[in-house]
Amino acid sequence: LTGTSREQRAFQYLLAHAIPGDPHHILQTFDQWCYHCEHLSCVGPDKGRIVERVLLERAPLRVLELGTYCGYGTVLLAQGLPPGARLYTIEGDPRHAAVAEKVIRLAGFSEQTVELIVGPSEEVIPRLREKHGLMKVDLVFMDHWKRCYLRDLRLLESHQLLAEGATILADNVLFPGAPHFLQYAKTCGKYHCKVHRASLEY
């Protein structure tokens, strides 16, 4: 009725209630909106703790996020980066990317820390080295279309973008599910797999 999307309404709520430049408070305000107003398919606080733990353990200097959506996961990742690290995040939907850009900058992250790339992941990944200067990635966070998980992992492999010992963190592989991705990861012999049990966001 308002002519604005759920994502835009969530951003308006952030503008009214969140503390600019405070990533933690930005995420808390997002959570309040999703719990009490409208559901958004963000990572959420429960799975967010898993992401935070992996970032702390791995301390990656180059991080790639597939599926920016509203920027919740981007802010979550960016606030856990070690000094000098850089996050590249890819979003295929220009409308979502427009909201995410504002959320990321509201949280206080510059383009030097977080680079948002708009376009289909299958087109962007092959250009990451030449166009965006990303030579190798230490951690990949997959939170886009589940059917694209395996295709994009194979793209990262074929373009030799995965650093030695790189970590792939993939959301919602059991439900809605990414069975082909899971099967490949478990049987190809390149990865050690661990499933983190968590509830759906909110």
pLDDT of residue 147: 95
The parent domain of residue 35 ranges over: 6-188
Tell me the chain's radius of gyration from C-alpha atoms: 16
Is 201 tagged catalytic? yes
Domain assignment present for 198: no
Is 46 tagged catalytic? no
Q: Find the CATH number of the domain harbouring 33.
A: 3.40.50.150
Domain assignment present for 201: no
Is 157 tagged catalytic? no
Is 186 tagged catalytic? no
Spatial distance between the Cα atoms of 43 and 51, rounded to a whole number of angstroms: 9
Domain assignment present for 199: no
Spatial distance between the Cα atoms of 80 and 90, rounded to a whole number of angstroms: 18
Domain assignment present for 200: no
Domain assignment present for 193: no
Spatial distance between the Cα atoms of 185 and 153, rounded to a whole number of angstroms: 9
Is 143 tagged catalytic? yes
Strand partners, 90: 66, 117
Domain assignment present for 195: no
**CA distance from start to end of the chain:** 25
pLDDT tens for 79-97 read 999 999 999 999 999 999 9
Res. 3 pLDDT band, cuts 50 70 90: confident
Q: Hunting for tokens 């606030």 — which residue is that?
A: 79
Domain assignment present for 177: yes
pLDDT tens for 104-146 read 999 999 999 999 999 999 999 999 999 999 999 999 999 999 9
Give the active site residue among 46, 172, 186, 190: 172
Res. 176 pLDDT band, cuts 50 70 90: confident
pLDDT of residue 79: 97
Give the active site residue among 31, 143, 157, 194: 143
Give the active site residue among 171, 186, 190, 194: 171
pLDDT, mean over the chain: 96
Of 177, 180, 182, 178, which is closest to residue 194 (Cα–Cα)? Answer: 182
Domain count within the chain:
1
Domain assignment present for 99: yes
pLDDT of residue 175: 86
